[in-house]
């Protein structure tokens, strides 16, 4: 009832003002009650795309020389994850990205695409895409209100802001998809209609900024995937005091200790910053934390959107044994996900003490994973005793020769 009243209010005498101020359209009114959707699902049979039928599938082997054991929680079967998000279209974005590249840490850069400063950032953002970072949407105009209200959220979360910022990123960079949204000032992150609009626009994750007025944003302390990807929080803040916050979080010993705790529990260290509120240089708190967490061979360094994409692929991918034919073992690896959205690799774990090569859809997968795992689309395998960790693109027939 409240929602209906607020929608109707936009059609009263305040309609002209709100349309001018927020780009609210009749389409926003018409779709207000529209359902959300699961992003990137295909209706076609994934097995048919592999030229495999259900009758070709075999019961899982429990005693064969090569057996499928499961999908790794993280890419390349790393112990833990580091993911970073940085917010706002400011002149400090290039400095921040240069610093991250120095340490090999990957970030999602949340850009407000309609502010004037963004015009100067696109060349550096394109370079960031090519370096393994992600560009995420922070709306077009970064509208904020404290406290937020339903009426504000209805006016601020329009197709112009949500779809428009996504389209700006796709138009101005070669990034093929926009996975991530960030709520400006953390506003409206609990609104169900906003979650539905974000899902219809194709975002798979939306990061919040919880309770800044009471410093709740400093240490949300999430150490895994968020159960609600459209109100996803993070582990800890790393920046000086800014905005309406009372304090920042710059004590290097504290932030390093929190990372150590996450690493010990094999979790996800998801930290966020505003580049304009950082101290740069080897002696600054930002670089001292980066130096502590960087370049470890048992950590996956990945932006937030591809991290959540991996989680979806892992949850949705099935691996079924096939007749071995002329191979030692064959497996169908399949899901119903759109490869335009979920084009990341997945790591599969096999018991495979003896084989000469691995083929995926007929092409050989090279042996030897990276020294540091900092990409999400590569294919390779690595041995660990009698186990093999195979990192490939799903929707393929895998053969052990």
Residue with more model confidence, 27 or 380 = 380
Mean pLDDT to the nearest integer, 42-54: 94
Cβ-based burial of 235 (10 A; exposed 0-12, middle 13-18, buried ≥19) = buried
Question: How confident is residue 9, by pLDDT bands cut at 50, 70 and 90?
Answer: very low
> How does the average pLDDT of the chain come out, rounded?
93
Residue 14 has pLDDT above 60, yes or no: no
Residue 31 vs residue 110, higher pLDDT: 110
The average pLDDT across 107-132 equals: 96
pTM: 0.93
Cα(364)–Cα(376) distance, integer angstroms: 19
**Higher pLDDT pick, 373 / 2:** 373
Query: Side by side, which strands form the sheet with 57-58?
Result: 57-58, 318-322, 329-334, 396-400, 358-360, 363-364
State residue 10's pLDDT score: 40
pLDDT band at 46 (very low <50, low <70, confident <90, very high): very high
Instruction: Return the SS3 of 186.
Output: helix
CA angle 233, 196, 137 (to 5 degrees): 55
Percent of the chain past pLDDT 70, that is, above it, reads 94
The terminus-to-terminus CA distance of the chain in angstroms comes to 63
Is residue 322 pLDDT above 80, yes or no?
yes
Residues 6+ apart with CB under 8 A from 305: 108, 134, 136, 178, 179, 180, 204, 205
- Residue 198 and residue 88: Cα distance in Å, rounded? 19
| Sequence-ordered alpha helix ranges (H) in 157-282 | 159-172, 192-200, 252-264
Q: Which helix (H) or strand (E) holds 236?
A: strand 236-237
β-strand pairing of 318-322 with 57-58: antiparallel
Q: How large is the average pLDDT for residues 275-281? A: 97
Cβ atoms within 10 A of the Cβ of 98, count?
13
């Amino acid at each position: 009832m409240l929602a209906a009243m607020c929608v109707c209010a936009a059609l009263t005498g305040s309609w002209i003002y709100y349309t001018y101020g927020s780009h609210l359209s009749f389409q926003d009114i018409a779709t207000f009650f529209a359902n959300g959707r699961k992003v990137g699902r295909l209706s076609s049979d994934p097995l048919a795309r592999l030229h495999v039928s259900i009758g070709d599938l075999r019961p899982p082997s429990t005693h064969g020389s090569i057996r499928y054991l499961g999908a790794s929680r993280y890419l390349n079967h790393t112990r833990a994850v580091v993911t970073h998000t940085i917010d706002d279209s400011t002149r400090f974005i290039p400095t921040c990205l240069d610093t991250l590249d120095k340490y090999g840490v990957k970030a999602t850069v949340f850009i407000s695409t309609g502010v004037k400063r963004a015009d100067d950032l696109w060349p550096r953002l394109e370079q960031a895409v090519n370096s393994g970072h992600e560009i995420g949407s922070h709306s077009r105009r970064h509208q904020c209100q404290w406290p937020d209200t339903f009426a504000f959220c209805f006016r601020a979360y329009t197709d112009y802001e949500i779809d428009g910022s996504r389209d700006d990123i796709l138009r101005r960079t070669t990034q093929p998809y926009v996975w991530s949204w960030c709520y400006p000032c953390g506003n409206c992150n609990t609104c169900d209609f906003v979650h539905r609009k974000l899902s219809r626009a194709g975002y798979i994750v939306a990061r919040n900024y919880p309770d800044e007025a009471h410093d709740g944003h400093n240490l949300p302390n999430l150490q895994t995937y968020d159960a609600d990807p459209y109100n996803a929080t993070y582990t800890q803040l790393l920046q000086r005091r800014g905005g309406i916050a009372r304090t920042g979080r710059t004590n290097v010993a504290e932030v390093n200790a929190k990372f150590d705790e996450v690493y010990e529990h094999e979790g996800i260290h998801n930290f966020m910053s505003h580049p304009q509120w950082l101290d740069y240089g080897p002696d600054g708190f930002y670089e001292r934390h980066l130096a502590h967490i960087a370049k470890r061979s048992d950590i996956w360094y990945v932006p937030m959107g591809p991290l959540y994409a991996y989680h979806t692929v892992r949850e949705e991918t099935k691996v079924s044994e096939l007749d071995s034919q002329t191979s030692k073992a064959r497996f169908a690896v399949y899901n119903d996900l759109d490869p335009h959205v979920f084009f990341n690799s997945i790591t599969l774990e096999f018991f495979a003490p003896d084989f000469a090569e691995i083929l995926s859809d007929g092409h050989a997968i090279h042996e030897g994973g990276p020294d540091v795992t900092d990409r999400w689309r590569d294919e390779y395998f690595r041995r660990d005793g009698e186990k093999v960790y195979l990192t490939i693109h799903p929707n393929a027939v895998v053969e052990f020769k």
